[in-house]
Amino acid sequence: MTFKELPKSYEPKEVEEKWYRYWIDGGNFTANEESDQPPYSIVIPPPNVTGSLHMGHALNNTLQDIMARFKRMQGYNVLWLPGTDHAGIATQNVVEKQLALQNKARKEMGRDLFIKRVWEWKEESGGVIVNQLKRLGSSCDWRRERFTMDEGLSMAVREVFVSLYKEGLIYKGDYIINWCPRCQTALSDLEVEHKEEKGHLFHIKYPVKGENETLVVATTRPETMLGDTAVAVNPDDDRFKHLIGKEVHLPLTGRVIPIIADSHVDVKFGTGALKITPGHDFNDFEIGQRHSLDAISVMDKEGRINELGGSYAGVERYECRDRIVDDLKKEGLLVKIEDHDHSVGHCYRCQTTVEPMISKQWFVKVQSLADAAIDAVKKGETKIVPQQWEKTYFDWMENIKDWCISRQIWWGHRIPAWYCDCGEIIVSVSDPDSCPKCQNSSLRQEDDVLDTWFSSALWPFSTMGWPTQTKELDLFYPTSLLITGFDILFFWVARMMMMGLKFMGSAPFKEVYIHALVRDSEGNKMSKSRGNVIDPLVIMEKYGTDAFRFSLAAFAAQGRDIKLDEARVDGYRNFVNKIWNASRFALMNLEGFEDKKVLPNKEELPLADRWVLSRLNRTAKDVSCALDTYKFNEAANIVYQFVWHELCDWYIEMIKPVLYGDGDSNERNNTQAVLLEVLRTSYQLLHPFMPFITEELFSYLPGEEGSIMKSRFPESDSSVVDEALEAEMERVMNTIKAVRNIKGEMGISPSSSVSLIVRGVSERHQQSLMKNENLLKIIARLDSFSFTDGDAPEGAATAVVEEMELYIPLKGHVNIDEEEKRLNKEIGKVEKDLEFLQKKLSNKAFIGKAPKEVVEKDKKRFEEVMLMKSKLVDSLGRLKCLK
RNA sequence: GGGCGGAUAGCUCAGUUGGGAGAGCAUCGGCCUUACAAGCCGAGGGUCACAGGUUCGAACCCUGUUCCGCCUACCA
C-alpha cells in the first residue's frame, strides 16, 4: 500500500474553497423530504438582506452549523433552512441614499419605479451576506433559500393578515404611536431605542383663569405646550385641590384649558402639576382618554410645527423649543430651568429622536396570542436554553401591548386592504376587482406596508411552503431548534411563537438556544461608531475559518457575553496546525501498513494503544453529551484537550519506538491501525467545529472514500473504556513526569541520559512498569532502568510516585545543595497537604457527619501522603550525610 | 423604578447535584528529541469582590453591601 504525504503546512484558503464546492456539488447539505431517517430542522435567523457578516452572525451561524453537522453525522435528515429578510426600513434607506447620490428622490420616482429599483439592488448586492455565510462553512440547504419578499412568503403574509383581520385580531385606528420624522414612518414600541440624555426641566407659569394665581408646570418639552389640552394635578395634593375644575390660560396660544385631577400625577416630581399633551405623549394620551380631552397634533410628519401651532407654524421642533423658551422669558412666565437627565426614544434604524404622534395605523391585538405563547413555554412545548431567559420572555409577554404593524414606507408587503369610495374596506388575500357592496371597481389599495417582523414572524412555516400543506411542513415543522441572540428574543422569537401557535397549532421550535453577544476584548458592544469592530472576514483570512469557528465555539459559554480576544484565535490556529502535523506524522509512518479493516483485539495491544482508545471513547461520549446540551465551549475544550495533550503529547510520543524500530511487524501494524483509528475518530469529533481541515485530512486516510460528512459521528463504546488501565497509564506517566521534573529542576539537560532505580514497588506495579520499560526509557530518556530491594542508592535525586521511590544517581555532577533545595520544596508541599488532612480528620464532626466514602478517601490520602513524606525525609537525611 | 448577569492567576475566561481551585495566553528556566519553534520539557503565580449566615465542609446555597454591564419602564 502506498500513502499520500501531507504538504508541510496547512493552507486554509484553497482547502476551504475546494471542499465547500465539493459539498455543494455533492448535494451534501440538501434535506430529503422522502427520507425515512429521523428529521432534524433549524431555520436560520434571516440576516438583513442589506447586511454583511459581523461577529454576531458568525457566532450564530457557527453554532447552528455545529449542530447541523453533528446531527447529520448522527444519521438525522437535517434541514437547515437559510434565507434573508427584506428589512423594510433599512433597505429602503440604503436605496434612497444611492438615489440621493444621483440627486434623485424616492417620491419623484413614484412607488412602482422605486420598488423596481430596490429589487434591482437586491439582485446585485443582496447576496453579499449569503456568500459570507458560505465562506464560514455553513451547511445550509441553499436549494431552499428563501427571502421574506418571495412570492410564496408574501402569500403567507396575506393569508395571515386576512385571517387575523377577519377574526378581529387586526384593527385599524387612530392611536398614539412612535413616529420617525426622518424615515417618515410609524415604529413599533420595540423599534424605539431609549437612551439616557442630558436635558432640562422647564418650569412654566400657567395663569389661572379668573384668579390672581399661577399654576407652575414642569416639562422637558416646552414646545409641546402648543398642543396642551389640560393641566393635571394629583387629586390628593392639598396644594392644588382648590384649583381642580378651574381653568388656566395656556401661554402663547390664547387658549384656555381645564385643570383636572388624575392620580397618575406624582406629587413629588417637578412642581406637582403636569401639562397634558395627548397628541405628543403616551401617558398624556391615556390621561386624555380617561378625561375625554382633545388630542391635538401640532407637528407635521417631518417634525415641524404645523398650522395649529399658530405663529410657530413651520418651525422645526427643537428650534421651536428655543423660541418658546425665549418667548416665555419675555412674558415673564419662565420660572426656572433645571438640568434633568431623562431617556429619549430614538429610531433604531436612523437614530433620529422619535416623536409620539397620533396617527391612523394598523395594529395586532396580541393578548390572546401572547397567552398561548406563554403557555407553550410553561408547558414545556418549547424549551428555552439557558432557562434564565424564560423569565425575560414571560416578563415581556405578560406586559405586551398591541403591535403597530403598519409602516409608511414602500418596500415591504403592502397591506392587503382596499378602500372603496362607498366607505367599504375590503381585506382579501387576492386583489379584489370591485367592491362587494357597491360594485364600484375603482378601489384604492392601502398605501402602508407591514412591519418586516410581521413576515419574519411566519418564517418557520412560510419558508416551508405554508399555506400549502407541503411534505416539508409535515416532516420538519415544528423545527427542532432555533439558535439566536437574545437581542431579538422579543422582536422575533416571541412573535414566531405567537404566529406558529396560531396558524400551525403548535409552537415553531422544540428548543430555543439563546447565545450571548460578541463584544470586544474590553467588553464593549462592537459598533461602527465606537470603531471597535472586529471583522470576522479579516479573522478568517488571517487565521483560517476552522480556527475562527473553533474559537467561537470555545468562547460560547452559556449565559455569558463573549469578549473576543484575538490572542485566543491565534492559539486555536496553532491547534489546527497541531492537528495537521500529527496527521502528517502518521502518514509519514505508515510504511508497510496493511489495512485489515478491523481493529486488533484489545488484548493484543500494548498499554499505550489500549489507553488511547479508552481515552478516545471517553472523549467521544463527553463531546456528544456536551453538544446535546448546547455546551459548545465544553465540547470544544474536551476535544482540544484530548487531541493535543493526550493524543499528541503522549500517545504519539509513546508509539514512536514501535513505529521507528525494526521490531515486531505485527505489533507495528496494530499500532498503525490504532493511530489511524484515533485520528479518524478525532477528525469526526472535530468536524462539526472544523469542517474544512477535517475533510481534507479525512481524504488522506487510507481506505477512506467519500466525505467525512457522510461518515458516522463517533459513538462511545463503553467496553473500551477501562479505568484500571487508565490508572496504570497514569502511573507510567507520573513516573516519566517525575524524571522530567528532576531533570528540569536540577538543570540536567533533557538529552543527557540518566539511570532510574525504583525501590519499594509493589509486585503488580513492577510487572506493569517492566512491560513498559522500553517506553519509559525512550520518553524519559533513561539509559538504564532497574528495581532494587536493597538500600537506597546514595547521591541520587529522589521522587515519590504512589508507593514507589524513584532514584536518579547524580554521579559526578551531583549538586547536593540543589537537590536539597528541591527536596525541601517537595516536602513543604506534602506537609501542607498533611496539615490540611490532619485538621480535617481530627475533626470529630467531620468523621461523624460526612459521608463514609469521603472520610475513607481522606484517610487513605492521609496515609499515602504520610508515606510519601517519610520517604522524602529519608532521602533528605541521606543527602545530608553526604555533605 | 423593575429585572437579569458579572466580579476567580498579570490578561481572556472555564468550574451543573457543596468534598483539598483549572485552561489558554503572558512570565521565568531548559531544549533544533528525524510531525510540529505556530513546537517540546519543566517551574512560578489565586484570603475565588466584601461582610455575615447555613453546613462536618462553601468559589458554589442564603442574606446584605460595593463596583461593572445589559435589558426593561407611563423618570412630566
Distance from C-alpha of A869 to C-alpha of A830, rounded to nearest angstrom: 6
Query: Residue A566 CA to chain centroid, in angstroms?
Result: 18
Residue A265 grid cell: 400625577
Mention every residue, 6+ apart, whose C-beta is less than 8 A from residue A357: A176, A177, A179, A279, A280, A297, A299
Q: What secondary structure letter does DSSP report for A257?
A: E
Distance from C-alpha of A449 to C-alpha of A248, rounded to nearest angstrom: 43
Helix (H) or strand (E) holding A863: helix A852-882
Residue A669 grid cell: 501494524
Judge whether A325 and A224 are in contact, CB under 8 Å.
no
Q: Around Cβ A757, how many Cβ atoms within 10 Å? A: 18
Residues of chain A with pLDDT under 50: none
**Sheet with A185-187: strands ordered across:** A185-187, A170-180, A355-364, A403-404
Q: Around Cβ A48, how many Cβ atoms within 10 Å? A: 18
Q: CA A820 → C1' B12, Å?
A: 38
Residue numbers in A 660-689, CB below 7 Å of strand B: 660
Residue A18 grid cell: 475546494
Residue A252 grid cell: 402663547
CA distances from A251 to A148, A245, A852 (A): 51, 19, 84
Q: CA A636 → C1' B25, Å?
A: 17
Q: CA A742 → C1' B30, Å?
A: 12
CA distances from A775 to A443, A652, A653 (A): 90, 12, 9
Residue nearest B68 (alpha carbon to C1'):
A523
Q: CA A388 → C1' B60, Å?
A: 18
**ipTM, interface predicted TM-score of the complex:** 0.93
Judge whether A517 and A30 are in contact, CB under 8 Å.
no
Distance from C-alpha of A20 to C-alpha of A28, rounded to nearest angstrom: 10
pLDDT of residue A3: 67
Residue nearest B34 (alpha carbon to C1'):
A660
Judge whether A484 and A179 are in contact, CB under 8 Å.
no
Q: Look at the alpha carbons of A313, A318, A321, A322 in this order and tell me if their dihedral is positive or negative.
A: negative
Residue nearest B43 (alpha carbon to C1'):
A745
Distance from C-alpha of A415 to C-alpha of A531, rounded to nearest angstrom: 39
Helix (H) or strand (E) holding A726: helix A723-746
Helix runs in A418-510, H state only: 452-456, 459-462, 471-476, 495-504
Judge whether A731 and A724 are in contact, CB under 8 Å.
no
Q: Is the peptide bond before A235 cis (omega within 30 degrees of 0)?
A: no
Residue A440 grid cell: 364600484
Distance from C-alpha of A152 to C-alpha of A141, rounded to nearest angstrom: 18
Which nucleotides in chain B lie closer than 7 A to a protein CB? 3-6, 11-16, 19-20, 23-25, 29-36, 38-44, 55-57, 68-76
Q: CA A741 → C1' B31, Å?
A: 14
In degrees to the nearest 10, what's the CA dihedral of A522, A526, A529, A534? Answer: 90
The radius of gyration computed from the CA coordinates of chain A, to the nearest angstrom, equals 37
3-state secondary structure of A483: strand
Judge whether A554 and A626 are in contact, CB under 8 Å.
no
The residue to which cell 386583489 is assigned: A431
Number of H helices, E strands in chain A: 29, 29
pLDDT of residue A137: 95
Q: What are phi and psi of A724, to 5 degrees?
A: -60, -40
Nearest nucleotide from residue A570 CA, by C1' atom: B38
pLDDT of residue A793: 85
The residue to which cell 509513546 is assigned: A654
Nearest nucleotide from residue A389 CA, by C1' atom: B4
Relative to beta strand A255-261, strand A214-219 is unpaired
Nearest nucleotide from residue A848 CA, by C1' atom: B56
Q: Is the Cβ atom of A740 within 7 Å of strand B at any atom?
A: yes
Side-chain-side CA neighbours of A820 within 13 Å: the count stands at 10
Q: CA A588 → C1' B35, Å?
A: 8
Q: CA A725 → C1' B39, Å?
A: 29
The residue to which cell 446535546 is assigned: A628
Q: Is the Cβ atom of A867 within 7 Å of strand B at any atom?
A: no
Residue numbers in A 81-100, CB below 7 Å of strand B: none
Q: CA A690 → C1' B31, Å?
A: 32
Helix (H) or strand (E) holding A159: helix A151-166
Q: CA A845 → C1' B53, Å?
A: 19
Q: Is the Cβ atom of A846 within 7 Å of strand B at any atom?
A: yes
Nearest nucleotide from residue A232 CA, by C1' atom: B76
Q: What are phi and psi of A43, to 5 degrees?
A: -100, 140
Nearest nucleotide from residue A589 CA, by C1' atom: B35
Q: CA A759 → C1' B46, Å?
A: 37
Amino acid letter, residue A823: L
Judge whether A663 and A555 are in contact, CB under 8 Å.
no
Q: Is the Cβ atom of A824 within 7 Å of strand B at any atom?
A: no
Nearest nucleotide from residue A547 CA, by C1' atom: B38
pLDDT of residue A108: 86
Q: CA A656 → C1' B12, Å?
A: 36
CA distances from A505 to A381, A392, A496, A497, A792 (A): 12, 24, 12, 10, 80
pLDDT of residue A289: 86
SS (H, E, C) A394-416: HHHHHCCCCEECEECCCCCCECC
Strand ranges for A118-162 from DSSP E: 146-147
Residue A691's nearest CA partner among A571, A537, A545 is A545
Q: Around Cβ A807, how many Cβ atoms within 10 Å? A: 22
Q: Is the Cβ atom of A751 within 7 Å of strand B at any atom?
A: yes
Q: Is the Cβ atom of A838 within 7 Å of strand B at any atom?
A: no
Q: Is the Cβ atom of A239 within 7 Å of strand B at any atom?
A: no
Nearest nucleotide from residue A845 CA, by C1' atom: B56
Distance from C-alpha of A646 to C-alpha of A641, rounded to nearest angstrom: 7
Residue A461's nearest CA partner among A444, A448, A476, A439 is A476
CA distances from A177 to A173, A279, A402 (A): 11, 10, 11
The residue to which cell 484553497 is assigned: A14
Q: CA A782 → C1' B41, Å?
A: 15
Burial of A687 (0-12, 13-18, 19+ CB in 10 A): buried
Q: Is the Cβ atom of A533 within 7 Å of strand B at any atom?
A: no
Q: CA A564 → C1' B28, Å?
A: 28
Distance from C-alpha of A465 to C-alpha of A459, rounded to nearest angstrom: 10
Residue A655's nearest CA partner among A750, A586, A739, A740 is A586
DSSP A13-77: HHHHHHHHHHHHHTTTT---TT--SPEEEEE--PPBTT----HHHHHHHHHHHHHHHHHHHTT-E
Mention every residue, 6+ apart, whose C-beta is less than 8 A from residue A24: A142
Total length of chain A = 883
DSSP-assigned beta bridge partners for residue A258: A247
Residue A670 grid cell: 496494530
Relative to beta strand A782-788, strand A754-759 is parallel
Helix runs in A268-332, H state only: 282-290, 317-330
Judge whether A495 and A512 are in contact, CB under 8 Å.
no
Q: Is the Cβ atom of A842 within 7 Å of strand B at any atom?
A: no
The residue to which cell 449569503 is assigned: A130
Residue A299 grid cell: 407637528
State pLDDT tens for residues A710-740.
Answer: 999 999 888 888 888 998 999 999 999 999 9
Residue A627's nearest CA partner among A477, A481, A478 is A481
Nearest nucleotide from residue A574 CA, by C1' atom: B38
Q: CA A740 → C1' B27, Å?
A: 21
Q: CA A577 → C1' B33, Å?
A: 20
Residue numbers in A 606-665, CB below 7 Å of strand B: 626, 629, 631, 633-634, 637, 644-645, 648-649, 652-653, 656, 660
